[in-house]
Amino acid sequence: MREEVKELREMVGEKEKKIKEMEEVGLMVEKNCETEWELMGTKLLIQEMKEERTRRDEAVEKWKQLYLAIKNELDDLIQRTYDGDGLYWKAEENGIQIENLKKELQEKEESIKSLKAQLVSVEKERYKKEREFDLFRQSLRIMNGKKNSIQTKEKHLKIKLGK
């Protein structure tokens, strides 16, 4: 806001300088009896400057009103806090939010319980599958062991028969 006001003031200052220069030029023009067109241009610039000044003043006034409204709200809030009303007012407003948060917490706790139960069942299933795989491995070893022992017996027989 301050920057905006500074920029507007600078613009107004520049325009005022231009107006003064043009007025001086305008006076010289009148003295020299030159055309009225130059006077009309100066008058238009002066009119624009006045309009810009009114716009700037309106903007400054708006900012002042906004500042005062915020200041009054803060003063009121500070006063209520000192009186203790602010905390009570805040508690009433937050009462609904607290109830909503409690409901949400309860729902999340229930979902956590169900997820934990699912996790336990998945872990049990995993344990069963691992155990089953171990049994398959052991069975495969046993079968391979028997197969190998049968093959070695056949080899020994062939060797004995072949001799």
Q: Which tens digits make up the pLDDT trace of 144-160?
A: 877 777 777 677 777 77
Q: Tell me how crowded residue 95 is: count the other CB atoms within 10 A of its CB.
A: 10
Residue 140 belongs to a domain: no
pLDDT tens by residue, 2-33: 788 788 888 888 888 887 777 776 666 555 55
CB-facing half-sphere around the CA of 76: CA atoms within 13 A: 7
Residue 58 belongs to a domain: yes
The mean of the pLDDT values for the chain is 81
Residue 29 belongs to a domain: yes
- DSSP codes joined into one string, 66-88: HHHHHHHHHHHHHHHHHHTHHHH
pLDDT of residue 33: 57
Domain containing 41 equals 2-83
For residues 25-50, give the mean pLDDT.
Answer: 69
Residue 16 belongs to a domain: yes
Residue 100 belongs to a domain: no
pLDDT of residue 37: 60
Domain count, the chain: 1
